[in-house]
């Protein structure tokens, strides 16, 4: 496996072919099902303590079954599987460069929610052209116990997000506990109120945004991930969701640059193109960021180790 971080957020790439472990030869979604229903212990063993932590996002690097793709990816975290992961895709691109499997230029990655075109700009920098993103509903108010009414927007950026601009918090790293408490309460309130993304999909990422610290940027965010860890990066799918909302409001023109600062002050540069008729409100977000390799290792599973499959929840 190869570890990296993208703008502070870690990615652990599992080189599935080298591991000797196979998910069979089905479609990517069939292989995801295999992993989810038959081998979920492997997700925990690879990612959770004692080998990993709640903060890590994993990426199984697999052979693609979609025509024209260079690789297929299944993203996972401490509690389950992600449709797409922006920081993770940039991390995979840097990992492929590190392994000598990719040179600067175009790459196509298959994910369970669609194909992502990647432009590897250098060994550490990449632009991803994400799956189509859209605002699903604007101006949604939910009653959050202990906090009152909170209004936000629901958007898809490869994962489902609830984006909130009106809140009383400073998005400071020192306030992470408070921000986590607030966003976790929002997530639970959405669930209780039956507020979902399209087709009843759970909204499992909550994004707060505010003015940037650095005037060169346009916004700062704090993103809570499904397993209650916060994204150290500005979140690729979260920035995609934000771009879709800006496009829907006519606040950002196609091709215009949006510099999204995360909670650490690291930046993703975003822009969008309309996917079709602007009236449909569907955009193709482009996100540029940098990733650095932090380690390479072989994971060992000792049958005598009581925590070989991770520390149970």
Classify residue 210 by its DSSP letter. Answer: E
Stretch that binds ligand PYC, among 116-124, 187-195, 214-222, 234-242 (CB under 6 A): 234-242
Cα 233 to Cα 86: distance, rounded to the nearest angstrom:
10
Cα 297 to Cα 2: distance, rounded to the nearest angstrom:
7
- Min dist. Cβ of residue 14 to ligand PYC (A): 17
Cβ distance to ligand PYC smaller for residue 88 or 310:
88
Positive or negative CA dihedral for 29, 31, 32, 33?
positive
Cβ distance to ligand PYC smaller for residue 176 or 193:
176
> What are the beta bridge partners of residue 15?
61
Q: Does the protein bind ligand PYC through residue 293 (CB under 6 A)? A: no
Q: Which of 3, 153, 231, 261 binds ligand PYC (CB under 6 A)?
A: 231
Residue 69 bears catalytic tag: no
Is residue 222 classed exposed, middle or buried when 0-12, 13-18 and 19+ CB atoms within 10 A define those classes?
buried
Selecting among 48, 69, 85, 225, the annotated active-site residue is 85
Q: Does the protein bind ligand PYC through residue 128 (CB under 6 A)? A: no
Is residue 102 classed exposed, middle or buried when 0-12, 13-18 and 19+ CB atoms within 10 A define those classes?
buried
Q: Does the protein bind ligand PYC through residue 85 (CB under 6 A)? A: yes
Cα 51 to Cα 66: distance, rounded to the nearest angstrom:
32
Secondary structure class of 47 (helix, strand, coil): helix
Q: Which of 71, 179, 235, 247 binds ligand PYC (CB under 6 A)?
A: 235
- Min dist. Cβ of residue 266 to ligand PYC (A): 12
Q: Does the protein bind ligand PYC through residue 87 (CB under 6 A)? A: yes
Q: Which of 86, 212, 270, 285 binds ligand PYC (CB under 6 A)?
A: 86
Nearest by Cα to 220 from 182, 277, 274, 179 = 179
Q: Which of 83, 152, 236, 262 binds ligand PYC (CB under 6 A)?
A: 236
Which positions from 199 through 228 interact with ligand PYC, judged by CB under 6 A? 225
Cβ distance to ligand PYC smaller for residue 57 or 163:
57
- Min dist. Cβ of residue 305 to ligand PYC (A): 29
- Min dist. Cβ of residue 116 to ligand PYC (A): 11
Selecting among 48, 69, 225, 235, the annotated active-site residue is 235
Buried b (16+ CB within 10 A) or exposed e, 246-285: bbbeeebeeeeebbbbbbeebbbbbbbeebeeeeebbbbb
Positive or negative CA dihedral for 49, 54, 57, 62?
positive
Q: Does the protein bind ligand PYC through residue 186 (CB under 6 A)? A: no
- Min dist. Cβ of residue 97 to ligand PYC (A): 18
- Min dist. Cβ of residue 68 to ligand PYC (A): 23
Cα 118 to Cα 287: distance, rounded to the nearest angstrom:
10
Classify residue 231 by its DSSP letter. Answer: P
First and final CA of the chain: distance in angstroms? Answer: 24
The set of catalytic residues is 85, 235
Please report, as ranges, the residues that interact with ligand PYC according to CB under 6 A. 9, 57, 82, 85-87, 159, 225, 231, 233, 235-237
């Amino acid at each position: 496996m190869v570890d990296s971080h993208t703008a502070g957020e870690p990615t652990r790439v599992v080189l599935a072919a080298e591991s000797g472990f196979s998910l069979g030869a089905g479609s990517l979604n069939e292989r995801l099902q295999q992993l989810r229903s038959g081998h979920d212990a492997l997700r925990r063993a690879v990612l959770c303590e004692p080998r990993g932590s709640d903060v890590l996002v994993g990426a199984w690097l697999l052979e693609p079954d979609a025509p024209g793709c260079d690789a297929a990816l299944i993203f996972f975290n401490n509690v389950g599987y992600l449709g797409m992961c922006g920081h993770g895709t940039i991390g995979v691109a840097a990992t492929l460069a590190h392994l000598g499997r990719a040179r600067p230029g175009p790459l196509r990655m298959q994910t369970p929610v669609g194909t992502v075109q990647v432009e590897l700009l250098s060994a550490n920098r990449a632009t991803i052209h994400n799956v189509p993103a859209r605002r699903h509903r604007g101006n949604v108010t939910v009653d959050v116990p202990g906090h009152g009414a909170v209004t936000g927007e629901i958007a898809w950026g490869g994962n489902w997000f609830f984006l909130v601009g009106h809140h009383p918090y400073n998005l400071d790293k020192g306030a992470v506990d408070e921000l986590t408490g607030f966003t976790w309460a929002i997530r639970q309130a959405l669930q209780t109120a039956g507020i979902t993304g399209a087709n009843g999909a759970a909204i499992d990422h909550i994004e707060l945004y505010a003015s940037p610290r650095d005037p060169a940027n346009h916004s700062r965010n704090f993103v809570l991930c499904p397993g209650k860890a916060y994204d150290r990066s500005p979140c690729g799918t979260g920035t995609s969701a934000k771009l879709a909302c800006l496009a829907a409001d006519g606040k950002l023109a196609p091709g215009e640059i949006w510099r999204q600062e995360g909670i650490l002050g690291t930046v993703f540069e975003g822009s969008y193109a309309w996917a079709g008729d602007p009236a449909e409100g569907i955009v193709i977000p482009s996100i540029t960021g940098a990733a650095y390799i932090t380690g390479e290792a072989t994971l060992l599973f000792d049958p005598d180790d009581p925590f070989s499959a991770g520390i149970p929840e």
